[in-house]
Each structure stands twice: as structure tokens, then as C-alpha cells.
Chains A and B, each alone.
Chain A
Amino acid sequence: MAIQTHFDKELSDLKEILLTMASHAEAAVKNAIEALTNRDYDLAQRVREDDTVIDKFELEVDEMAIHLLAKAPLASNLRLIMVATKISQNLERVGDEASKISNRARDLAQEAPLKLTLDIPRMSNLVLQMLKGALDAFVNQDPTAARALIPRDKEVDALNKQIYRDLSNQMMQDPETITRCLNLMIVAKSLERIGDHATNVAEEVVYLCEAQDIRHTGKGSSAALQTEMEHKRAV
């Protein structure tokens, strides 16, 4: 009896828009980091412009979502619509963070490069991986993959802290570099935020597939989760 109804078609349209938005967001982050590394002013400018497109997508997804909710969907359809609005919100923020990075990149490009090795490339790679991983998990409806990347946020946080320490030391050693260091701190912060958003998307994917809300538990593994859930139910 699995026929594709008109409603199913509307849901796949929703998914399509979400994924298009996601590819824009991913591209924005990539481009922002590239603009930073290559000191590319024009690329940074384009990232900023592209952010309006991402914002429009968020509006589109929300409008579609409420239109679909009026039709009283149930079960996985209902969860999909809820999750779609949350993911689009997270993606929109990712776009904003990418925009922030590109703004810093623009400013940094106009000054002399800082002679300091930082873990920013490593951090940005990790964050991009997480983002891609979360979106792939959404496409493939794979909660296990989604769960697997949640602990990696800790790595991101650790890298962020390290970069802060390095930059703080640099600023204390050489006050001439304060402006540039501060800009880089903002970049690191933005990357950390992007990591958080990727984690959020992963959590939403778990909710979509398993109807389990794993937000705010601080744990990503299933075993710990299970005891957590049981504890909740017993109370």
C-alpha cells in the first residue's frame, strides 16, 4: 500500500529545499575559511552576499512547514517537519557564522599576516567534517552516524580553548598584534559555534529517526543514553 501521496511529494520538496540550503551553508563555511587562509578579499565579500540567500531559505522552510502542519501530519511526517524547521534555523546560524568569519577574513587580509601557527585549519576541517557528517546522516536517515559525531564537539571545544591560549600569549607578548589576534579569536569562536550547530543537527537527526530527544544530556553514546532514559522513565 506504499503509494506516494501528494503529501509525500510535498515532504520531499521540503527535504530538497533543506538540502539545497545545507549545501549553501557548507559552501559558505568552506569559502570563508579559504578567504581567511588565502587572504582573498573578494571571496570574503561573496560569502557575505550569499548569506542573504541562506536567510531566504530559512523563511521558505518555515512557511512550508506551517503550511504542511495544517494538514495534521502524524508520526515520522510530523517529526520531519519539526526537525526541518530546527535544522534550517541551525543552518541559518551557520551561514551567519560563516559570514562573521569572512568579515574577519576581510579585515585580516588588509593587514600584514600574523606569524603564528594556530590550529585553525585543523579546527575548520573538523567542523566541516561534522557539518557534512550531520547532513549526510539526515539524508541517509542514519542515527548511528549522527550519534557518533556528537562527541567530536568536545574536540572542537578543546581546539578552541587551545587557540585562545595561544592567541592570549601572543597578545601579551606583542601588543602590536592585538587587533589581528582578536580577529582570529572571533574566527575561532565562530568555528566553535558552527561545531555546536552541527551537533544540534545531529541531535535532530536522532530525534527524526528514533523519536528520542538527546539534547542537553551531554552524552552522545547510546549506553549512557539508555540508562539516562530509563532513569527518566522510572521517576
Chain B
Amino acid sequence: MAETTLPKITVALATQPAGTPTSLIEVQDLSLSYGAAQALKSISLGIGEKVVTAFIGPSGCGKSTLLRCFNRMNDLIDNVRIQGSVKIAQQDIYSQEVDVIELRKRVGMVFQKSNPFPKSIFENVAYGLRLQGITRNSQLAAAVEESLRQAALWEEVKDRLHTSGLGLSGGQQQRLCIARAIAIKPEIILMDEPASALDPIATTRVEELILDLKKDYTIVIVTHNMQQAARISDFTAFFYLGELVEYGTTSKIFTNPAKKQTEDYVTGRFG
């Protein structure tokens, strides 16, 4: 007998529209300038919880700048002026009462060029935990193992935890940095072109890792590799010259973008 029900399709074609009330990060009219140069112009968007959101766009379009607003790393630069608001979990992170240190414990970051400390692998991962006052070795060891397992690095390094983190390959170093970031269990992980300095195999591993992490963390990733954005993200935002041009589900952006500018960029017709 013919069935009339379709089998369950496990591919999650993202259907949640962007900017809904379940946004974890809410950006409203954000403008940022370094001195005279304006890097961000009136950006408004909402980033959903426990999904991967990708920021794409040509060099200098402001995607990294916006990313760094989420953990206030832009504070480190002189002459930065910000207007508008960034709310994480409904709290304005630029307000006076917010402790930047606490913010950064909840919003972690992985950088383009992997930057492990010149310490042992163990101490690298334990660094953030020690900052929070955890000093008991048993606790640290358990947490370090869990983070390294989550970062798909445990099997490779479990026998040399006390050797230098700098002795690992590029891809392993980047995974170490990811393990270090997730050790303190942030809610959000920001990734600034995490795989751009890696070879294809290492890149695939990092991408797989991001797909695995998605179920526990909210991830925002800046990438200049559009196929990567298509592979791993649920939502994509396209930026150009400091403006948000288009923001939608990854499926839509890469198969049928609404704006011509997006279409031109995605098909490589841009300069």
C-alpha cells in the first residue's frame, strides 16, 4: 500500500527568520568609527541562539569590526566611537554597569591566527579556568579533558598534555585555541576567520567541530570563504563598506539572494 507520509528529513534547512524575539544578540543602529573613518554604518540585526551565523563580505567591509563589538575587543583601540546599542540577553553591553571582564567570560573568541600561549597544552586550556579561581588539580584536569574532547583534540594530545602548545601543527593549534575558549563555557563563541590560515584537511576538521559545537553554543563566524559559510552556517549576513546589505537564511543567501549586490558578491562578480 502506498504511504502518504514523507519520511523525516534530518537535514535542518534553517527556517527560523532572522531578528525574531529569540535573538540572543540584538544589534540596533550600531555605528562605529575609528577617528575620522567610519567602519560600521547603522547596523541592525538579531543573532539567534544556538545557531551558526556567518558574516561575509569583501575585505574592509566591517564584518570583523562588528564581531569584535560583541566582546568589546574594540575597546582596546584608541579613538573608537560607538553609537547605537548591542544587547546580549537583553542587556546593553556598552552600558556603564557592565563589567567587560565578565562579558568576555560569556562571549569567547577564536582568532584568525592561532595564538596559543607559550605554555603547555594543559596550561593553555586551564588558563581561563584559573582566572576564575579554579585551582584544584582534579577539577582542572577534568575540565581540560572535557574541553579537549569537545574540540576533537583529546586523542591527539592526551599523552603530551604538558608539552608546549606551540609544538602542535597549525590545525591542532587552532583547535587548542577553540578548546581554550570553550573551557570556560561561554554562551557565545566568536570566530574571526578561524580556518583561513589552515590547510584543507585542518579546515574540514575545524568546520566539523563547529557543526558539533552548534548544539551547545551560539556561534558567530566571520569568513571570506563563501562555500564555508554555506557549509556550516544557518544564517548569513552580507556586509559591504560598513553596511549590512542582506541578512537571511544561508539557503536563501546562497541560492537566491534578494539584493543584486549580494548576488554579485556571492557569484564572484565583485572586484
Contact = CB atoms under 8 A, between A and B. Distances in A.
In the complex they form, whether A and B have CB atoms below 8 Å apart is answered with yes
Interface of A: 1, 3, 5-7, 9-10, 13, 16-17, 20, 24, 27-28, 31, 46-47, 49-50, 53, 56-57, 60, 63-64, 66-67, 70-72
A26 to B, nearest CB: 11
Contacts of B250: 70
A102 B196 CA distance: 58
Contacts of A16: 7
B7 A5 contact: no
Given A56-B6, A57-B6, A46 B1 contact: yes
A71 B6 contact: no
B10 A53 contact: no
Contacts of B4: 49-50, 53
A70 B7 contact: no
Nearest to B232: A6
B231 A28 contact: no
Nearest to A24: B2
Given A6-B208, A53-B2, A70 B255 contact: yes
B10 A13 contact: yes
A67 B251 contact: yes
B91 interface: no
Given A28-B2, A49-B2, A53-B2, A60 B255 contact: no
B211 interface: yes
B101 interface: no
Interface in B218-234: 227, 230-231
A102 to B, nearest CB: 11
The 4 closest A-B pairs by CB, nearest first: A50-B2, A72-B227, A70-B254, A70-B230
A60 B6 contact: yes
B45 to A, nearest CB: 21
Given A53-B6, A63-B13, A72-B231, 18 more contacts: A7-B231, A16-B7, A17-B7, A17-B9, A20-B7, A24-B2, A24-B3, A27-B2, A28-B2, A31-B2, A46-B1, A50-B4, A53-B3, A64-B11, A67-B11, A67-B13, A71-B230, A71-B231
Contacts of B37: none
Contacts, number: 56
A72 B230 contact: yes
Nearest to A71: B231
Query: Counting chain A CB atoms within 10 Å of each CB, which of B11, B211, B230 scores highest?
Result: B11
Contacts of B230: 70-72
B266 to A, nearest CB: 9
A56 B7 CA distance: 11
21 contacts: A5-B204, A6-B208, A7-B231, A13-B9, A16-B7, A17-B7, A24-B2, A31-B2, A46-B2, A47-B2, A49-B4, A50-B2, A50-B4, A70-B250, A70-B251, A70-B254, A70-B255, A71-B227, A71-B230, A72-B227, A72-B230
B201 A1 contact: yes
Contacts of B211: 6
A123 to B, nearest CB: 23
B204 A67 contact: no
